Structure 1
């Protein structure tokens, strides 16, 4: 057994006990779209199209209590890919700064509207390291970090995010606009427990970096799926 597999065993146990995700156990799954804003060929190979997205709370605190928040979405596979492409972001300490510590530091938030979402780790693509961040463009009404408010907002006006990318330590620039427009019915969610996994599901030549941490994340996501018997 590899060290990364051994380290991930508690995650499998935790997911089995919970019968749900070990990380980000509660969330809202929704259908939506992504529209590329960056010129073709500049930066990460994100293309316009339909997506499946999820807004979540990292620890799963009840009601509107603060938590770290998550934003994940799955894009269909490209013509040269065997799998879809999953991107996972979590709230980080950006504020008005885009310095490296603010890109990697997980940060609890008290409302959806104040949240900056970060990839936390860079993606290696064409010999460069790329970062992704996102932020709501229209505030979610109500106070606190309530998933019920997110549910109602998606089925009402929808949730709209500006998604940006940065190469290395460079400035962030527009990448895409992401919209979540229709909550997936609970019965359908229960039947198909979608397991977002940015290691197994990626675009050609795009890899989570660094490699050693990528191996741990691969084991962790696999353990979480196996612990709750989820789909890949």
Structure 2
């Protein structure tokens, strides 16, 4: 990707600035102004498990194990107001190795179109970007099986998880094929920020499993820069 010389604060030290850096710098400023994430600023951090249901070797290399997850509101609208619902989770490895794998999904009306929703169960959660794996192109999506009352409220998630687990069905599709069940995702407790695995923001552009890549690559570069500027804006790095 093209870079331009830039003098850092008049120090005479020249650094390279990419096009993706320039176009995502406003995200750093926005995160700094409100001192929180630019994307999905409000949410609940959860602990749980993922359980593979698809036959081993069929599709993506997701395997059963512990996860750290987060349910969030994309624009951070107050209370139970509609918003873009977000679901993220981190696995510590996959069937190919021990490289962490972050999955970020958001409410959508199809595989790539964002859609605001009025409640958590009403959302179809999609990765929005396909995943490349061993020459194939795959999509991931999830659906909540639990009942959560109270609209799209973060507090409703807290209340629900305090009483019973939150359950999701995770599905995969290869290319334009039909979605089939891949796994179940269960969150059974809220986590505090100082617990193991909670100190790193979710970022699938740098943690996407051992052999998995986000597609297309040019959009991955842009997205990586956007996440980085949002983290630096709120002092997370």
- TM-score normalised by structure 1 residue count: 0.90
**Structure 1 residue 84: Cα displacement:** 1.4
Q: Which residue of 2 is the match for residue 130 of structure 1?
A: 138
**Structure 1 residue 224: Cα displacement:** 1.2
Select which of 103, 106, 129 maps to 1:121.
Answer: 129
Question: 3-state SS of the aligned residue for 1:54?
Answer: strand
- TM-score normalised by structure 2 residue count: 0.88
Q: Which residue of 1 is the match for residue 184 of structure 2?
A: 177
Give the distance between the partners of 2:134 and 2:63, measured in 1 at CA: 17
Give the distance between the partners of 2:135 and 2:47, measured in 1 at CA: 32
Give the distance between the partners of 1:80 and 1:92, measured in 2 at CA: 29
Select which of 210, 222, 236 maps to 1:230.
Answer: 236
**Residue 10 and residue 83 in structure 1: after superposition, are their counterparts in 2 closer, same or farther (change >3 A)?**
farther
Give the distance between the partners of 1:123 and 1:87, measured in 2 at CA: 10
Q: Identify unmatched segments of 5+ residues in structure 2.
A: 1-16
**Structure 1 residue 113: Cα displacement:** 1.5
**Structure 1 residue 78: Cα displacement:** 4.5
1:212 matched to 2:228? The reply is no
**Structure 1 residue 77: Cα displacement:** 2.9
Q: Which residue of 2 is the match for residue 144 of structure 1?
A: 151
**Residue 193 and residue 224 in structure 1: after superposition, are their counterparts in 2 closer, same or farther (change >3 A)?**
farther
- Does the CA-based 8 Å contact 1:65-1:110 persist in structure 2? yes
Select which of 47, 50, 64 maps to 1:48.
Answer: 64
Q: Identify unmatched segments of 5+ residues in structure 1.
A: 94-101
CA RMSD of aligned residues (A): 1.6
Give the distance between the partners of 1:229 and 1:130, measured in 2 at CA: 34
**Structure 1 residue 21: Cα displacement:** 0.7
Deviation track 1:145-201 (CA, whole Å, cap 9, x = no partner) reads 11101011112111000000000000000000000110013x638xx5531000101
Select which of 104, 107, 112 maps to 1:104.
Answer: 112
Give the distance between the partners of 2:122 and 2:150, measured in 1 at CA: 11
Give the distance between the partners of 1:180 and 1:194, measured in 2 at CA: 18
